[in-house]
Amino acid sequence: MTTFWSAYIFVLTGITIAGLVGLIHFTRKMPGSTDAEETTGHTFDGIEEYNNPMPKWWLNMFWLTIIFGIGYLIYYPVGNWEGIGKWTSAKQLAEETAAHNEKYGEIFERFASIPVEELKDNDQAIRMGQQLFQNNCALCHGQTAQGYYGFPNLTDDDWLYGHSGAEIKQTIANGRMGQMPAWGETLGTNGVKIVTEYVLKLSGNSHDEVMAAQGEVIFSQMCAACHSADGTGMAALGAPNLTDNIWLYDIPNQDLATDIAITITNGRAGNMPAWQGILGEEKVHLLAGYVYSLSN
């Protein structure tokens, strides 16, 4: 904030306070100084209003409020004015962060030396990981990591990017981007339909046998490169296993065949953000331990 705006606030506040002091001064009436029968002149339905002085306690509170206001103005910072208290929210944050790091830094360091797979045996590590998860991940993956449409469930045995401690940590640290190409133009409506029947067959759902057989040919030519020849997926690409009947993109209460056909026609691009830069390595390590513990 420039000096002008700091001064602007001071002047405006000063004028307001002076106005309030003036208001008290000009409206007060010393007790006993005039005739007790004096009225303000308001009447309503024959009822008149006496012009009595303000109660003393009320007036004193008003003065105290004004004095408090002046004190507040000069103690705390306004723009360029540092305030006589030299307090700033940034300074307070820095102090609290330093105190926090001193208190917990050692604990984080200790957990950082425990392998991800073994953190699940440490109650404190899991509790801290869970807290971090609630604050940073629950928004997308759900309070209990159960997932939603487009956001994977982290408690089951179905993994897009692998389930070893190292793979999970890698996912959280650097983020992931799933790229499923759109096939609508290449395959046409009928092509999408028959390959959808084959995907339904792969996952053990009811399907049309004749169309599925035709779809299998397309699958081996166009899909197997990523989803593997038997449809079990490829963790390196984040290409899901299509045989386990667990779906990332199924709208509840909508026909599964419709969801699959939409995915194949338009493609998908799930995006898991990267956390290393935001949370630091030690917290990512704890989060990986927590996520690993959910399915182990």
- Binding region for ligand HEC (CB under 6 A): 133, 136-137, 139-141, 150-152, 154, 159-161, 168, 171-172, 176, 178-181, 183, 195, 199, 222-223, 225-227, 237-240, 242, 247-249, 260, 263-264, 268-273, 275, 287, 291
Min. distance of Cβ 209 from ligand HEC in angstroms?
17
Q: Of 34 and 131, which CB lies nearer to ligand HEC in the complex structure?
A: 131
Query: Measured at CB, which residue is nearest to ligand HEC?
Result: 270
Q: Position 113: which residue type?
A: S
Which C-beta is closer to ligand HEC: that of 120 or that of 176? 176
Q: Is 284 exposed, middle or buried (0-12, 13-18, 19+ CB in 10 A)?
A: buried
Q: Are 295 and 156 in contact (CB under 8 A)?
A: yes
Distance of CA 69 to CAs 20, 73, 83, 102, Å? 12, 6, 14, 37
Beta strand 271-272 with 176-177 is antiparallel
Smallest separation, CB 203 to ligand HEC (Å): 9
Q: How far is the CA of 261 from the CAs of 122, 186, 193, 227, in angstroms? A: 44, 14, 7, 16
- Rounded CA-CA distance 124/129 in Å is 8
78 vs 202 by CB, closer to ligand HEC: 202
- Tell whether 285 is in a known binding site: no
Query: Nearest 10 degrees: CA dihedral of 195, 199, 201, 203?
Result: 180
The one-letter code for the residue type at 13 is T
- Is 61 marked as binding a ligand? no
- Distance separating alpha carbons of residues 48 and 58, to the nearest angstrom: 23
Q: Is 141 known to sit in a ligand binding site? A: yes
Q: How far is the CB of 166 from ligand HEC (least distance, A)?
A: 12
CA dist 37 and 48 (Å) reads: 11
User: Per the annotation, does 272 bind a ligand?
Assistant: yes
CB of 147 to ligand HEC, least distance (A): 9
Q: Is the Cβ of residue 78 or residue 288 nearer to ligand HEC in the bound state?
A: 288
Least Å distance, CB 202 to ligand HEC, is 9
Nearer to ligand HEC by Cβ, of 193 and 268: the residue is 268
Whether residue 160 contacts residue 150, with contact meaning beta carbons closer than 8 Å, is answered with no
180 is in an annotated binding site: yes
Please identify, using beta-carbon distances, which residue of 78 and 180 lies nearer to ligand HEC.
180
Cβ of residue 199: shortest distance to ligand HEC, in angstroms? 5
Per the annotation, binding residues are 137, 140-141, 180, 223, 226-227, 272
* Annotated binding-site members for heme c: 137, 140-141, 180, 223, 226-227, 272
